Amino acid sequence: MDDRDKSGIDGKNQDLERSREAPDGEFLTTNQGVRVADNQNSLKAGERGPTLMEDFILREKITHFDHERIPERVVHARGSGAHGYFQVYDSMADYTTAGFLQDPSTTTPVFVRFSTVAGSRGSLDTARDVRGFATKFYTQEGVFDLVGNNIPVFFIQDAIKFPDVIHAVKPEPRNEIPQAASAHDTFWDFVWLTPECMHMIMWVMSDRAIPRSYRMMEGFGVHSYRFINAKGKSHLVKFHWKPLLGVHSLVWDEAVKLGGQDADFHRRDLWEAIEAGAYPEWEFGVQLIPEEDQLKYAFDPLDPTKIIPEEVIPVRRIGKLTLNRNPDNFFAETEQVAFHVGNVVPGIDLSNDPLLQGRLFSYLDTQLIRLGGPNFHELPINRSVAPVHNNQRDGFMRHTVNTAPTSYQPNSLGGGCPFQAGTTNGGYHTFGERIDAQKIRERSDSFRDHFSQATLFWNSQSQVEQEHIVKALRFELGKVMTPHVRQHVVDLLTNVDLDLARRVAEGIGAEVSSNGRAAADAMKRLEADWDKFGVTSRPGKVRKQAVERSEALSMAHTIKDTARSRKVAILAANGVDGEQLETVKATLTEAEAVPVLVSPLPTVKTSSGKALQTDKLLMTAGSVNFDAVFVPGGKESAAALQADADALHFVSEAFKHCKALAASGEGTEVLLAANIAPPSTSGKTNGHRATNGHSTTSLASLGSVFVEPKAADLKALGKQFVRAIAQHRDFSREETKQAMRVPA
Ligand code: HEM
């Protein structure tokens, strides 16, 4: 048996073992294994003389360094990855022969890479962007790659437009500005000239494009693929990843600030969660359409700008993905991993989605240049755990030492090996779809409804989510300098939803007709200008969708039952009440949240004299780095924090970002000093009154703000606090404008 034929959860880990290097207890050597006596001085002609060409140690070291960089990915350059495993819940044999989906006792090793799309390799994590969600399954039948995104649709319907959309969103060609941002003229110019973008635009302008964590994003295969069962029956299948922590996002102000505070926010979050044993988990879901039912719906399942609403075909959850191990080496694994939508295994097949068809060419092609030749499948992170035998030979960086006397097939001199498997021995068999057609360079009419699902998405959002979309569009279009581009995007929005268009237009000085024919007027304006610029993919008839709203499209309905792995800042200074701090901390820890002591000082002395090590200095961490804030009492500590502008900003910003806050004892006064209060507070209540007239009683009336001024029942305080953290945010603060009132 081939030594790579390893199975189970640890199969890939064992496979990687033969490539690992560790220097423990070893001498420094050259790449040839020669021990290096002196790594500090080059070989010179005399103490003050020139360096000698002869110094092969110097030259080898510098030459290798000079060649360390490889091209970054042309898209999705910024990313981070992790190892894990996948297990199916029940056999899917009725639908697919794929071996890893047959038996719940089979564990399949995986490597997942998350990414942003537009930015360079060193760009910020929290940019407004689509996130890549690419999964490599190392199955016993070969590698299966599911190369998806955290948004279920795409900008364009045909691969021939991919270079255009990417050139438009990347920094502008004359000055390479802006980095990792779609808020610029060329992107929105492409959008108004490409009306098929509109559904995707709704998603990328929503908070889905600024996730709280990779661990709290959904994933989607986007295209329809095929499942093929043992009888050769085909179902179209859409793939989903559903995070067990729920789907949660940042707010825009927070995302912007995190870009400066911690450009590695998502990378760090993933790394730290796995190191702490809070393994990210997703359920694997499928939506299945029998081959013969493809044309029964108000959308074409081959059109990648459309979803299948979950109310129309529910997502069946068929298994679970767990990420439980960080890579050993970022470059070797996360950078060199090469995903390809053409990496499929028997039982999983492709569809005719014209975007998918183009991708089938693109990935292998780009990796030939990115990884420098045709042998990157041999790199440890990419190599299959199933045996690999074929007659492909040579090329740059070939690792395999092929020992066979022949490298062709059929052969007799090599005993006929390797043999074709045929379908009886598990050979890949393509679904025999009947195709009888004329060659045409055209778009199917069934792809021309560019608005109805954009409207469905808008209608399905909560009030707060809608407001965030409006603000995102105002921000993006506000950065567009060309008036006709701004106006035409609003014209497209007018055909999605009139209220949306009006609200955006108001903020950026664009027009929406008020004569009752706004959508038609907007379309007329667009048509006239589309004619000038040769736009052929015009919108067709809007098709009535089976549902007007879909709960699954709104994050308001997501899982909100756990504070697990949420980071909670405990803000304290010298003289903090250690008992209050420890009691609430214990409740947080019990809920598997992660308490972090934040202080202006490197060490905090409690009121009883105990020294606590600070986890994060206040000057290095804004509250944007945390999910919630607790301020324990202690007279001296509370006074110091009230006198510290950074501490007050920390608290008020957490409130502004709708996060849960708690305070006990004198800590309550820090909240009051940070001006946290309901809009109508007059100070005429019985609670403690701060100098600004607000009172602890008025604090207690705020949602997701919990105070125990007398520190009486800290356990109850902790429990309420944990429940609010699980809710992720209290957006009612935005609805009542409280969050806007607090000076940041
Ligand atoms: C015609 C359309 C598309 C083309 C031509 C295309 C092309 C590419 C290319 C060239 C890369 C870099 C690959 C590498 O260097 O290893 C890439 C990466 C990626 N693409 Fe696409 N792409 C397309 C559409 C999509 C769509 C629709 C999705 C989502 C369903 C997607 C998801 C990804 C992901 C997740 C990565 C990053 C993979 C990684 O982490 O290494 N792409 N794409």
Q: Is the CB of 366 under 6 A from ligand 1?
A: yes
Question: How far does the centroid of ligand 1 lie from the alpha carbon of residue 117, in Å?
Answer: 8
Give residue 741's pLDDT: 65
Give residue 1's pLDDT: 35
Give residue 737's pLDDT: 74
pLDDT in tens, 223-248: 999 999 999 999 999 999 999 999 99
Rounded distance between C-alpha atoms, residue 698 and residue 690, angstroms = 11
| Three-class DSSP category at 46 | coil
Rounded distance between C-alpha atoms, residue 211 and residue 176, angstroms = 26
Rounded distance between C-alpha atoms, residue 488 and residue 448, angstroms = 19
| Atom 40, ligand 1: residue with shortest CA distance | 113
Question: How far does the centroid of ligand 1 lie from the alpha carbon of residue 363, in Å?
Answer: 7
Q: Is the CB of 152 under 6 A from ligand 1?
A: no
> Is 4 a residue whose pLDDT tops 50?
no
* Residues facing residue 695 across a β-bridge: 689
Burial track 130-152 (b if 16+ CB lie within 10 A, e otherwise):
bbbbbbbbbbbbbbbbbbbbbbb
Mean local confidence (pLDDT), 714-735: 95
Contact call for residues 96 and 228 (beta carbons, < 8 A): yes
**Dihedrals φ, ψ of 600, to 5°?**
-70, -15
pLDDT in tens, 538-554: 999 999 999 999 999 99
> Is 627 a residue whose pLDDT tops 90?
yes
> Is 498 a residue whose pLDDT tops 50?
yes
| Atom 27, ligand 1: residue with shortest CA distance | 154
Contact call for residues 597 and 630 (beta carbons, < 8 A): no
Rounded distance between C-alpha atoms, residue 121 and residue 263, angstroms = 12
pLDDT in tens, 270-326: 999 999 999 999 999 999 999 999 999 999 999 999 999 999 999 999 999 999 999
Query: Active-site residues: which are they?
Result: 76, 149
Contact call for residues 589 and 582 (beta carbons, < 8 A): no
Q: Is the CB of 171 under 6 A from ligand 1?
A: no
> Is 435 a residue whose pLDDT tops 50?
yes
Give the ligand 1 atom nearest the CA of 81.
40
Q: Write down the H helix ranges in 127-236.
A: 162-169, 185-192, 198-204
Q: Is the CB of 79 under 6 A from ligand 1?
A: yes
Q: Is the CB of 147 under 6 A from ligand 1?
A: yes
Peptide bond preceding 374 in cis form (omega within 30 of 0):
no
Question: How far does the centroid of ligand 1 lie from the alpha carbon of residue 283, in Å?
Answer: 23
Give residue 240's pLDDT: 98
Q: Residue written as tokens 């279009």?
A: 477
Mean local confidence (pLDDT), 609-618: 98
Rounded to the nearest 10°, the torsion over CA 574, 577, 579, 582 is -50
Give the CA count within 13 Å in the CB-facing half-sphere of 593.
Answer: 30
Give residue 687's pLDDT: 55
> Is 436 a residue whose pLDDT tops 70?
yes
> Is 37 a residue whose pLDDT tops 90?
yes
**Dihedrals φ, ψ of 707, to 5°?**
-130, 145
pLDDT in tens, 507-536: 999 999 999 999 999 999 999 999 999 998
pLDDT in tens, 385-428: 999 999 999 999 999 999 999 999 999 999 999 999 999 999 99
Peptide bond preceding 418 in cis form (omega within 30 of 0):
yes
| Three-class DSSP category at 116 | strand
And the tokens for 488? 């035409």
Determine the Cα angle at 565 with ends 560 and 569, to 5°. Answer: 100
Q: Is the CB of 372 under 6 A from ligand 1?
A: no
Question: What does the longest C-alpha to C-alpha distance in the chain come to?
Answer: 98
Give residue 3's pLDDT: 42
Q: In the β-sheet with 567-571, what is the strand arrangement from edge to edge?
A: 616-617, 594-599, 567-571, 628-631, 660-664, 705-708
pLDDT in tens, 328-358: 999 999 999 999 999 999 999 999 999 999 9
pTM: 0.96
Rounded distance between C-alpha atoms, residue 470 and residue 522, angstroms = 18
Question: How far does the centroid of ligand 1 lie from the alpha carbon of residue 75, in Å?
Answer: 7
Question: How far does the centroid of ligand 1 lie from the alpha carbon of residue 449, in Å?
Answer: 25
Give residue 408's pLDDT: 98
Long-range contact pairs involving 269-277 (C-beta distance under 8 Å, separation at least 24): 269/213, 269/214, 269/215, 270/80, 270/82, 270/114, 270/213, 270/214, 270/215, 270/323, 271/80, 271/326, 273/213, 273/215, 273/565, 274/82, 274/323, 274/324, 274/325, 274/326, 275/326, 276/565, 276/594
| Three-class DSSP category at 330 | helix
Rounded distance between C-alpha atoms, residue 724 and residue 629, angstroms = 11
